C-alpha cells in the first residue's frame, strides 16, 4: 500500500513527512484565502487545527486531499507532489471525515463503507465487506451495517463516516470539525473513537475546537488566523504561553 514517491528515492521514508505544505497559497477569485502556509505532519503525528470561523481551516485541509486546488506553493503527500496528475492517487491514501458526515443516504452503512474500496481500489466485494466489518467493529457500530444513515443518530453516522474513511486504509486521516454538527450528548462517543485511533499511532490532522481533545491528543496545535498559521506549538506551550493577542482572545472566547 505504501506510496513511495520516486522523487525521494534517496531519502529514507522515516525522515519524510506524510504531509508537507510549503508556502501554500489559495484564492477564491481575488480573495486570498490561504497565504504562505507551511506545515509538516510526520508519520504518527496528531495535529489539531483551530482558529476563528473563516480563517481558512476547511480550505486548508480540503487542499491537502485535492478537494480544492491551491494556487501557489507545494503540497507533498507521502513524497508525491499534489498535482492534477497525482491527485487521484493521493486521494486514495488520505481519509477524510466531514462536519456533516456526507454519507450517501441511499446506501446502507455497509455499502457506504465498501463503495470506494470496490470502485476506486478495485478490491473484490467479499474482501471489501470483510474490511468494512472490521472497521465498523473498530468504531463499535457493526450491528447497524444494514441500516440507512437516516436511521442512525448523528453520533452513529459520524462513526460510520470514520469507518468509511478507514476502509481505504489511508496513510493519514483528515477531520473537519467532526463534532460540530452533533448534539452535545453525542460529542463524546465521536471524540473517544478519534482518541482510540490516535492511540493506535495513526497520522491525523483534526480541525476542531474541542480543546480537551487537543490537549490530550495533539502533538502540535496550529492556530489559523486570516488564512495564515498564526502560531503552532505543542499543547502545553500553546495553552500556557500564547504569544499573540489574537490567540489569547481566541482561547478566552472558548472558555
Ligand atoms: P473555516 O473553515 O476556518 O471557517 P473556510 O476555509 O471555510 O474557513 O473559509 C475561509 C474563507 O474563504 C472564508 O472567508 C469563506 O467565506 C471563504 N470561502 C470558503 N469557501 C469559499 C468558496 N467556495 N468560494 C468563495 N469563498 C469561499
Ligand atoms: Mg470550516
CA of 141 to the centre of ligand 2 (A): 27
Q: In sequence order, which residues have a C-beta less than 8 Å from that of residue 176 and are 6 or more positions away?
A: 57, 58, 61, 62, 96, 97, 98, 99, 207
How many residues are recorded in the chain? 255
Residue 6 maps to a domain: no
Model pLDDT, residue 1: 41
- ipTM value for the complex: 0.98
Residue 9 maps to a domain: no
> Hey, what's the cell of 78?
507521502
Residue 3 maps to a domain: no
Across residues 215-224, what is the average pLDDT? Answer: 97
Those residues whose beta carbon sits under 5 angstroms from the ion ligand 2 are 58
DSSP 241: -
Range of the domain at 64: 19-229+236-254
Residue 55 maps to a domain: yes
Q: In sequence order, which residues have a C-beta less than 8 Å from that of residue 175 and are 6 or more positions away?
A: 96, 97, 194, 204, 205, 206, 207, 208
Query: pLDDT tens digit string along 36-88?
Result: 999 999 999 999 999 999 999 999 999 999 999 999 999 999 999 999 999 99
The residue whose CA is least distant from atom 11 of ligand 1 is 54
**Counting ligands in written order, which one lies closest to the CA of residue 178?**
2
Determine the Cα–Cα distance for residues 107 and 200; give it in Å rounded to an integer. 29
Angle of CA points 26, 32, 36, to nearest 5°: 60
Global model pTM greater than 0.95:
no
DSSP 39: E
**Overall domain count for the chain:** 1
Residue 143 maps to a domain: yes
Residue 2 maps to a domain: no
Please, what is the average pLDDT of the chain?
94
Residue 14 maps to a domain: no
Q: Which CATH number belongs to the domain containing residue 196 in this structure?
A: 3.40.50.300
Angle of CA points 121, 129, 46, to nearest 5°: 65
Strands (E), 46-184: 46-50, 72-77, 80-81, 94-97, 172-176
**Counting ligands in written order, which one lies closest to the CA of residue 250?**
1
Model pLDDT, residue 13: 53
Radius of gyration of the chain from Cα atoms?
18
Residue 39 maps to a domain: yes
Task: Decide the pairing of beta strands 172-176 and 31-41.
Answer: unpaired
> Hey, what's the cell of 119?
470502485
Evaluate whether 132 touches 141 at the Cβ level (below 8 Å): no
Determine the Cα–Cα distance for residues 23 and 69; give it in Å rounded to an integer. 14
Evaluate whether 134 touches 119 at the Cβ level (below 8 Å): no
Evaluate whether 135 touches 113 at the Cβ level (below 8 Å): yes
The residue whose CA is least distant from atom 27 of ligand 1 is 28
DSSP 130: H
> Does 28 sit in the ligand 1 pocket, CB within 6 Å?
yes
The residue whose CA is least distant from atom 15 of ligand 1 is 54
**Counting ligands in written order, which one lies closest to the CA of residue 59?**
1
Amino acid at each position: 500500500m505504501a506510496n513511495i514517491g520516486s522523487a525521494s528515492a534517496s531519502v529514507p521514508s522515516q525522515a519524510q513527512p506524510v504531509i508537507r505544505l510549503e508556502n501554500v497559497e489559495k484564492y477564491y477569485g481575488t480573495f486570498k484565502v490561504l497565504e504562505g502556509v507551511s506545515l509538516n505532519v510526520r508519520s504518527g503525528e496528531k495535529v489539531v487545527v483551530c482558529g476563528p470561523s473563516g480563517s481558512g481551516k476547511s480550505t486548508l485541509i480540503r487542499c491537502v486531499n485535492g478537494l480544492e486546488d491551491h494556487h501557489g506553493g507545494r503540497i507533498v503527500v507521502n513524497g508525491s507532489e499534489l498535482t492534477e496528475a497525482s491527485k487521484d492517487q493521493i486521494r486514495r491514501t488520505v481519509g477524510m471525515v466531514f462536519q456533516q458526515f456526507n454519507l450517501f443516504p441511499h446506501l446502507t452503512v455497509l455499502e457506504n463503507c465498501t463503495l470506494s474500496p470496490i470502485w476506486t481500489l478495485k478490491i473484490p466485494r467479499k474482501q471489501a465487506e470483510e474490511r468494512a466489518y472490521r472497521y465498523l467493529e473498530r468504531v463499535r457500530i457493526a450491528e447497524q451495517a444494514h441500516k440507512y444513515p437516516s436511521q442512525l443518530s448523528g453520533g452513529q453516522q459520524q462513526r460510520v463516516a470514520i469507518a468509511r474513511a478507514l476502509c481505504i486504509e489511508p496513510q493519514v486521516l483528515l477531520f473537519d470539525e467532526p463534532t460540530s454538527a452533533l448534539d452535545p450528548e453525542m460529542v463524546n462517543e465521536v471524540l473517544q473513537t478519534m482518541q482510540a485511533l490516535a492511540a493506535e499511532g495513526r497520522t491525523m490532522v483534526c480541525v476542531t475546537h474541542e480543546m480537551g481533545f487537543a490537549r490530550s491528543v495533539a502533538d502540535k496545535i496550529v492556530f489559523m488566523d486570516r488564512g495564515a498559521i498564526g502560531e503552532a506549538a505543542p499543547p502545553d506551550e500553546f495553552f500556557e504561553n500564547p504569544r499573540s493577542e489574537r490567540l489569547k482572545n481566541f482561547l478566552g472566547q472558548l472558555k
